[in-house]
Amino acid sequence: MNAVIELAGVSKTFAGARVLHDLTIAIAEGSFTALVGASGSGKTTTLKLVNRLVVADGGTVRVLGDPVDSLPVTALRRRIGYVFQGIGLFPHMSVAENIGITPRLLGWDRARIAQRVAELLKLVALPADYAVRLPAALSGGERQRIGMARALAAGAKIMLMDEPMGALDPVTRDRLGRDYRALHGALGLTTLMVTHDIQEALLLADRVVVMAAGRIVADASPRALLEGGAAPEAAALIEVATRQSAEIAAMRAGSADG
């Protein structure tokens, strides 16, 4: 399988503090990879290296085989979708204008943009009449659906997601996660998602990369991680997740018995 994102020997230092150490990872086309780790583990920095929101000090970052600094940064970003916890919808623009921003920057004509916006609203399961609303009139979950639609609008096949559901309530989070997972498969996307929630990672991704202190400490499928044998940092995360699930299941069983 082709690697669409490759990081080789990448390091990064912020204000004297080293946040990434000689990091190497390849992301295969069509994969759904979760980057998991505690705050400060370097997972968000790793993600942002891909669309050059962060520039590496050393090593190489390639997207679709080309080093990221070999083409204009705007061209690079217009072919990569980016979805993050802050969402960052443009508050003075309608939903349609928000979704259509990258096509507009790419110079698409109005009719083509309007058609694409209609397609995307359907894709993210929102009513067509949302097109004329302003972001302030939407719920948090609806806003992030628009954020995802905006990221996909110009036909990006690579999606970078930074805690995309971090600010949502658990029910909305669960639904949006499942819906995105389905989109990922249907559109043949390659997704790299940062999350600190190991359960979310285990449920959505087909590959989980655990980071600690700027290094990769585990890299396996969810099933392999659950079966054990991972590094201590990863094992601890898995242990918490499985124990909490078991405790909740036991509680439920107890109340059903009583």
Partner 1 sequence: MDERFAPALAALPADLAAHIVLSAAALVLGMLIALPLAAFAARRPRLRAVALGLAGVVQTIPALALLALFYPLLLAGSTLVRPLGLSLPALGFLPSLMALSLFAVLPMLRNGIEGLIGLDPAVLEAADAVGMTAWQRLRIVELPLAAPVVMAGVRTAAVWTIGTATLATTVGQTCLGNLIFTGLQTEDWVTVLVGCIAAALLAITVDALLALVQRGVSPRKPARVIAGAGLLIAGVIAALAALAPGTHTRYVVGAKNFGEQFILAALIRDRLAATGAQVEVRSGLGSAVAFRALAASDIDVYVDYSGTLWTNVMGRTDTPAPAAMRASITRWMTATRGVRVLGPLGFENAYALAMRRDRAAALGVRTIADLARVAPRLTLGADLEFLGRPEWRAIAHAYGLHFAASRAFSPTFMYRALGDGTVDVISAFSSDGRIAERDLVLLTDPAQAIPAYDALILLSPARAHDMRLVRALSPLIGSITPERMRTANLSVDRDAGKISPDAAAALLAAPPVRRNAGG
Contacts with partner 1 by CB under 8 A lie at 51, 53, 73-78, 82, 84, 86-92, 101-102, 105, 147, 150
Strand partners, 168: none
**Which one, 77 or 173, has the nearer CB to partner 1?**
77
CB of 193 to partner 1, least distance (A): 15
CB of 75 to partner 1, least distance (A): 7
**Which one, 82 or 207, has the nearer CB to partner 1?**
82
**Which one, 33 or 51, has the nearer CB to partner 1?**
51
**Which one, 48 or 207, has the nearer CB to partner 1?**
48
CB of 82 to partner 1, least distance (A): 4
From CA 160, how far away is CA 77, in angstroms rounded?
Answer: 11
From CA 136, how far away is CA 128, in angstroms rounded?
Answer: 17
**Which one, 132 or 250, has the nearer CB to partner 1?**
132
CB of 40 closer than 8 Å to CB of 19: yes
CB of 80 closer than 8 Å to CB of 66: no
190: its two tokens: 């390659």
From CA 16, how far away is CA 39, in angstroms rounded?
Answer: 18
CB of 158 to partner 1, least distance (A): 12
Closest-CA residue to 99 (of 52, 144, 42, 54):
144
CB of 90 to partner 1, least distance (A): 6
187: its two tokens: 């559109």
CB of 20 closer than 8 Å to CB of 46: yes
CB of 234 closer than 8 Å to CB of 225: yes
CB of 78 to partner 1, least distance (A): 4
**Which one, 40 or 88, has the nearer CB to partner 1?**
88
3-state helix, strand, coil in the chain (%, to 5): 45, 25, 30
Q: Please work out, in degrees rounded to the nearest 5, the angle formed at the alpha carbon of residue 206 by the alpha carbons of 202 and 212.
A: 60
